[in-house]
Amino acid sequence: MLKRSGTGIAITGSGSAAPAGILTNDDLAKIVDTSDEWIKSRTGIKNRHLATASESVCQISTVAAQKAISMAQIDAADIDLIILATSTPDDLFGSASKIQNMLGASKAVAFDLTAACSGFVFALVTAAQFIRTGAYQNILVIGGDILSRWVDWSDRSSNILFGDGAGAIVCQATDSGDRLLGFEIYSDGTKNDCLTLAYQGGDRELIDGISIAKGAYQPIWMNGREIYRFAIAKVPEVIEKALFRAGLTADAIDWLILHQANQRIMDAVAERLNIESEKVISNIAEYGNTSAASIPIALDEAVRAGKIRSGDLIAISGFGAGLTWGAAIFQWGDR
């Protein structure tokens, strides 16, 4: 077990969870005018896991977190901070505190962080700051989303993409070297309207001269082509910048884990960076785009499959609504 002190970061545990219910491409073809062939060839997606009303972001995130805590060989009571990256909390006031209670992480301060599909990268970078300043030693970073609640199921240009899930990692302070070697994160609000899950309200007069906006969040709206172009342009660039910060080049990378948005985007980014396809971790066929959960689920599955080993060098990159994008380069494990 890692000595819990110092201001270096080690990522020592991972876990993931997804709802049991699976919607196949053929199932989708019963809802909208599409086909398994079209979806597979344009996106690489075959299945997506969908949460029922009895499942929640808190519940799947807690399962993922428990697995990560167990792999890191710590107790929930040792956790100082929980960051839940999500755009789909069970409660708009935040879901992280409820997860804290479900885990029994009584000492931990907990908050939600919203950066859409970049959320996991942004949350990891945020966690790193608390470790580097010496404020905290054990931090749980969770990416959890139930996008199916917000998908417009009549819109075939977006409903094919999204699924539900949660992934988590444990970051620990160490005095034997900082394994987060480099990162870069960005936002561009000028393109905010390319991908939205926005509140829309109409004026409702409370009393003479005082109105409030009464309404509801609208389903996901996406300009798919614009997002595609944005991803192809910005993701290789931000990974190169994070690599530069780490003093490395792309050939040093053992594994590339991109936000699982589209297999074609992953292939194009890897090609641009000259990274062999064998090094690209993809599980998009099984889960679709699970937003903040996609990177930690892919990471956890690769760790548990014995692909990723302690000391391996990993590049991750998230991108999506905001628009936001970012990359981090780290070494897995405590060796």
Under the criterion CB under 6 A, does residue 174 sit at the interface with ligand COA? no
3-state secondary structure 91-125: CCCCCHHHHHHHHCCCCCEEEEECCHHHHHHHHHH
Among residues 75, 94, 228, 240, which is the contact residue for ligand COA, using CB under 6 A?
228
222 binds ligand COA (CB under 6 A): yes
Q: Binder to ligand COA among 7, 38, 66, 268 (CB under 6 A)?
A: 38
289 lies in the binding site for ligand COA (CB under 6 A): yes
Binder among 225, 307, 309, 335 for ligand COA (CB under 6 A): 225
Give yes or no for residue 262 binding ligand COA (CB under 6 A).
Answer: yes
What is the nearest approach in angstroms of ligand COA to the Cβ of residue 291?
A: 7
Q: Which of 79, 261, 292, 295 binds ligand COA (CB under 6 A)?
A: 261
According to the binding rule CB under 6 A, does residue 293 interact with ligand COA?
no
Site string for ligand COA, 42-81 (x = CB under 6 A): xx--------------------------------------
294 forms part of the interface with ligand COA (CB under 6 A): no
Nearer to ligand COA, 181 or 316 (CB): 316
Whole-number minimum distance, CB 104 to ligand COA, in Å? 33
**Binder to ligand COA among 47, 157, 187, 196 (CB under 6 A)?**
157
CB 36 → ligand COA: shortest distance, Å?
Answer: 10
Kindly list the catalytic residues: 117, 259, 289
- Give residues 190-219 in contact with ligand COA (rule: CB under 6 A): none
Residues in contact with ligand COA, counted by CB under 6 A, come to a total of 18
Binding region for ligand COA (CB under 6 A): 34, 38, 42-43, 117, 156-157, 160-161, 222, 224-225, 227-228, 261-262, 289, 320
